[in-house]
Amino acid sequence: MPADFIDHYDVLGVVATATREEIERAHREQVRRWHPDVNPDPDATLRTQQINVARDVLLDPRRRADLDRELSRRQGRAGRATSSAYARRSAGPDQTRAAEQQQRRRDQAEEQARRAAERRREARAAQEERDLRERARRAAEERARRNAEQVELAWDDQTFVLGHWYANRSGPFQVLTADSVSVRVRYQNGMELTLPVGTLWLGWQEEARRRSESEGRLFTFRHYRPAAGPSELEIATTLNRAHTPEAVFRYLESCGWGTMSDDRAEGGRLRFTPDRAWLPRFSRVIAELSAHRPGFDVKFDANRPPGALASWIAL
């Protein structure tokens, strides 16, 4: 009598008269239940191997016949069924149905436990991801605070001054251009943005107030007043001396009227994008220069992408 005898009918949970289709169906159900990818039981791998072997034996006529003879011999020697599965195969229909119902209830309980464990794992993973994002946010704020100490911040400015450094929650930034509507800034990481002047000024004052409270320092807070800029006479006098579009663009950019970009080295154009506050005056100046100055060829860019700011190009 083999010491390691396994009742393969019992492994798959089928009766001794099971058909090939019933064996295949039972095999699929058992694999779905015991596969290590879905079942955390330490014996899941061994159980899956036993299920696959049981299927191979029961689908092989010769090996199945050997199994039936061994079961009959064991039953004859013991005078009774030697396994609960063989007893179920010998039982009546009512007992078989009761055993099947009990097995279904066990399967449902195991499936519910598996789903609950999966939900707990997903909840833990989501919480870990939130914690990681929060740690990254705090580290970024700390880096921004440390970086802010490495530049000279213009605490006493009453308005944004070109070239001066300020700070907000995103870190220190340098003002490139400014008008009554928007400010072009460059952060320490090299990123350049155009932001609403009111929002940026409030962010700067919040940062100054936070630093004064945390470090015991006092700062002067003033409401933003946009710079008046050069007078009409100063602009007209300077433009009379500027004979090329590039000279005009550079001067108006220094006045805070907008931004000049030069892409001629890459086959592009010399371009000027005025800020919205100065758009009417800029268009009048360009129209007057184009009408009265020979060789001053600057046109409105009618091919700009949808939603882009209005700009003029030098031809």
Which of 69, 90, 111 terminates a domain? The answer is 90
* 173 falls within a domain: no
* 278 falls within a domain: yes
284-289 contacts: CB < 8 A, separation 24 or more?
285/235, 285/239, 285/252, 286/248, 286/312, 289/239, 289/248
Q: H helices within the chain, ranges in order?
A: 8-12, 20-34, 44-59, 61-78, 84-90, 93-148, 197-215, 232-241, 245-254, 279-292
* 1 falls within a domain: no
138's CB contacts (< 8 A; 6+ apart) are: none
Structure tokens at 104: 């279904």
Residues in the chain, pLDDT under 50:
1-2, 80-83, 221-227
Pick from 72, 69, 36, 76: which is nearest to 52 by CA? Answer: 36
* 216 falls within a domain: no
| Per-residue pLDDT at 130 | 87
| Per-residue pLDDT at 143 | 65
Structure tokens at 141: 């704020």
Pick from 67, 84, 89: which is nearest to 18 by CA? Answer: 89
Domains identified in the chain, total number: 2
Calpha distance 18→248 (Å, rounded): 94
| Per-residue pLDDT at 237 | 72
* 16 falls within a domain: yes
Distances (CA, A) of 294 to 100, 110, 145, 301: 100, 89, 53, 20
* 35 falls within a domain: yes
- 246 and 270 in contact (C-beta within 8 Å)? yes
For residue 277, give the DSSP letter: G
Cα 129 from chain centroid? 11
Question: What letter represents residue 110's amino acid?
Answer: E
296's CB contacts (< 8 A; 6+ apart) are: 243, 244, 245, 248, 289, 290
Calpha distance 153→288 (Å, rounded): 41
Which of 23, 56, 90 terminates a domain? The answer is 90
| Per-residue pLDDT at 86 | 53
For residue 153, give the DSSP letter: B
Structure tokens at 181: 């509507």
| Per-residue pLDDT at 227 | 46
- 314 and 269 in contact (C-beta within 8 Å)? yes
Which of 39, 69, 90 terminates a domain? The answer is 90
Burial of 174 (0-12, 13-18, 19+ CB in 10 A): middle
CATH code at position 16: 1.10.287.110
- What's the domain range around 263? 232-314
* 300 falls within a domain: yes
| Per-residue pLDDT at 145 | 59
* 146 falls within a domain: no
Question: First CA to last CA across the chain, in angstroms?
Answer: 101
Summarize pLDDT for 277-308 with one digit per residue, the tens: 777 888 888 888 888 787 788 888 877 777 67
